[in-house]
């Protein structure tokens, strides 16, 4: 019969191995989910939204400089500002959840640009067993 200390040690080792395996599987799942969620379409959509909002703000400022603001124009500008604020809040949340912040997004974009420029340096395909 094994001593109680040996059995405890064996159980602790099995638990630590399972914990490591679970962390590894969770990391792989997170990476796969991140790659699936981040697509060029999403990045292009964010860029289009940014251009749309910037154009909308520029037109609003030009219109304001041409004529005095009317109450209807003020309401429309307020609605546009509110929608822009909501869009930026959503975009900020998305960037933080996917990349950890603006720096992570910049690193991701730069890595994609580097990989698209030099396909010879790309990693070979891995065979899954």
pTM score, whole prediction = 0.33
Output the tens digit of pLDDT for each of the chain's 129 residues: 578 999 999 999 999 999 999 999 999 988 887 776 666 667 777 788 888 888 888 776 666 555 554 567 677 778 888 888 888 888 888 888 888 888 888 888 888 888 776 655 555 555 655
**Per the structure block, which two tokens stand in for 28?**
């792989």
**Per the structure block, which two tokens stand in for 42?**
């999403």
Which residue shows structure tokens 């520029």? 58
* Segments making up each domain of the chain, as ranges: 36-110
Which residue shows structure tokens 């749309």? 52
CA pair distance 73, 79, nearest whole angstrom = 10
Nearest-CA neighbor of 63 among 74, 52, 48, 50?
Answer: 74
φ/ψ of residue 107, rounded to 5: -65, -40
């Amino acid at each position: 019969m094994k001593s109680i200390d040996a059995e405890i040690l064996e159980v602790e080792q099995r638990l630590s191995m399972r914990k490591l395996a679970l962390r590894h599987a969770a990391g792989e799942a997170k990476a796969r989910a991140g790659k699936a969620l981040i697509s060029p379409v999403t990045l292009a959509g964010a860029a289009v939204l940014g251009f749309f909002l910037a154009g909308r703000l520029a037109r609003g400022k030009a219109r304001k400089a041409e004529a005095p603001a009317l109450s209807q124009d003020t309401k429309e500008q307020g609605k546009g500002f509110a929608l822009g604020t909501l869009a930026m809040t959503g975009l900020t949340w998305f960037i933080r959840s996917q990349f950890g912040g603006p720096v992570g997004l910049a690193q991701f974009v730069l890595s994609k640009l580097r990989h698209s420029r030099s396909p010879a340096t790309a990693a070979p395909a891995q065979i899954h067993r």
